[in-house]
Amino acid sequence: MARKKIEEIIEVGEGMNVEISGDTIKIKKGEDEVERKIVFPVKYENNKITLKHDNPSKKDKKKMNSMAAHIRSMISGINKKYVYKLKICSVHFPMNVSVENDQVVIKNFQGEKTPRIAKILPGAKVEINNEEVTVESADKNKAGQTAANIERATIIRGKDRRIFQDGIYIVEKEKGKRLEDIEEEEK
């Protein structure tokens, strides 16, 4: 039984530059840039990214669908950045949270003398406003991983989490929007 050809076409918005070189794809718009490793053959022509396979197996279909989803996520991140909001909760000891270079420094967590440190990935931006931490990036993975690094830095071990509720917790994730949704909002 012959397998069918499969093809996925993704529209790229105006003003976006797409570069495909070797095993990476870069999408730029203004100062925002998102880069990702390619695991499936990709072509770019006439503001369209095309993923195509002539004789796909199940594994090839899965790779293509995953790659298409990653590319859509890159495009929506360039159009509208991914934003994560975290809440600083300190019940027992007041924490001092600050951004220094490429890391978030958490001082006086649970009365500890040594500060806890969370890494900020390149391309992610962290802002601290009173009890709220905002992480934003055009790259979904970098925004999510930076928020997770901050949350993980305040894990309490060996104590009951129901009583010791101090920490920094992700409270809101604002998802990027699809290009079609943005165009509808502009109308």
Give tens-digit pLDDT for 147-161: 999 999 999 888 887
What are the angstrom distances between the C-alpha of 148 and each of 48, 103, 120, 128?
33, 13, 10, 16
CATH class of 82-179: alpha beta
For residue 187, the surrounding DSSP H or E stretch is none
- Tens digit of each residue's pLDDT (9 = 90 or more) over 14-68: 888 999 888 899 999 888 889 999 888 888 888 899 988 888 888 988 988 999 9
pTM of the model: 0.82
C-alpha 87/C-alpha 90 separation (Å) is: 10
pLDDT category of residue 4 using cuts at 50, 70 and 90 = confident
Q: Per-residue b/e over 56-75, b at no fewer than 16 CB within 10 Å?
A: beeeeeebbeebbebbbbbb
pLDDT at 3: 67
What is the bridge-based pairing of β-strands 96-100 and 17-21? unpaired
- Tens digit of each residue's pLDDT (9 = 90 or more) over 101-149: 999 999 999 888 999 999 999 999 999 998 999 999 999 999 999 999 9
More confident residue, 187 or 165: 165
Of the CATH numbers 1.10.10.1590, 3.90.930.12, 3.40.630.30, 3.10.20.600, which one belongs to the domain with range 6-79?
3.90.930.12
Q: Provide CATH 3.90.930.12 ranges for the chain.
A: 6-79, 82-179
